[in-house]
Amino acid sequence: MNKNRIFIIAASAAAILGSFLPWATASAGALGSMTVSGTQGDGWLIIFLAIGAIVLSCLKNYEKPMEKPFAIGVIVIGAIQTIISIIDVININKYAVNFGGFGISLGFGLILCLLAAIATVATGLLAMSGGKITKETFEELASTSKEFAQSVGRVTSSTVQTAVKEIKKETEHHQETAEPAPTPEQPAQPAQVEQAVETEQVEQTTESGQE
């Protein structure tokens, strides 16, 4: 197997191991202490991402260097793992105090996950560049990321425009097919009926007088 692929698998395995180890330890003095592992929090997400990196490193002919799209996928996975680990480190450090044997401390498992995530990014860069990280490696990564973002933007814009057109068509169709409901004839009021009867009687009397 290509050595860069082996490095990616090793870094991912370290991330999986770190997720099962303690991420934080809460001390309660004489009452003892309690540890919280990564699998009780974001550890499962780290494991899922690590498995994804391992799968990418094993695709196609694993004796040859990784293809650049796969290597970029590993870099993205490592970056996400790094962000998650840093956020968890910050959140735990907010409560990292030790007063009279009471307090919360950062666990070794989270530190291992953070180091493994950084290693995943580094090994992904090595796989993308063919074994040597140079300035051109980062320039190529930036260019690829920009093209990817533009592609996503174009697809998103096209999807939104299509949806808007469909909604507009549906609205116009409903407006064309909708007909105003017929207005029911109002029944004659009693006063109107009486007036009509009186008018008819007057006309009949006039006609009789003329005769």
Any idea which of 1-10, 44-53, 90-99, 170-179 has the lowest mean pLDDT?
Answer: 170-179
pLDDT for position 202: 55
64 or 75, higher pLDDT: 75
The residue segments making up the domain with residue 129 are 3-147
**Per-residue confidence band for 194, with pLDDT thresholds at 50, 70 and 90:** low
Does residue 152 lie within any of the structural domains? no
Q: Do the Cβ atoms of 23 and 93 come closer than 8 Å?
A: no
More confident residue, 41 or 140: 41
Query: Is the residue at 125 inside a domain?
Result: yes
Residues 97-113 have pLDDT tens digits of 655 556 778 889 999 99
pLDDT, position 4: 87
Is there a domain that residue 186 lies in?
Answer: no
Residue 201 lies in a domain: no
| Of residues 42 and 193, more confidently modeled | 42
Residue scoring higher pLDDT (20 or 165): 20
Residue 55 burial (CB count, 10 A): 13
Give the DSSP per-residue string, 140-205: HHHHHHHHHHHHHHHHHHHHHHHHHHHHHHHHHHHHHH--PPPPPPPPPPHHHHHHHHHHHHHHHH
Percent of the chain residues past pLDDT 90, beyond the cut:
34
pTM, full prediction:
0.63
For the chain, how many structural domains are there in total?
1
Residue 184 lies in a domain: no
38 domain-assigned: yes
Domain harbouring 138, CATH code: 1.20.140
pLDDT above 60: residue 204: yes
Tokens of 164: 């808007």
The rounded mean pLDDT for the chain is: 77
Q: Residue 51 above 90 pLDDT?
A: yes
Q: Does residue 127 have a pLDDT over 80?
A: yes
pLDDT at 137: 65
Q: What is the rounded distance in angstroms from the CA atom of residue 78 to the CA atom of residue 139?
A: 18
pLDDT digits (tens, 9 = 90+) for 133-191: 666 666 666 666 565 555 445 555 565 666 667 777 777 766 666 655 555 555 555 55
pLDDT of residue 88: 93
Mean pLDDT within 47-58: 94
Residue 122 has what pLDDT?
93
- Is residue 47 a part of any domain in this protein? yes
**Winning range, highest mean pLDDT, from 5-9, 23-27, 145-149:** 5-9
Q: Is 141 within a domain? A: yes
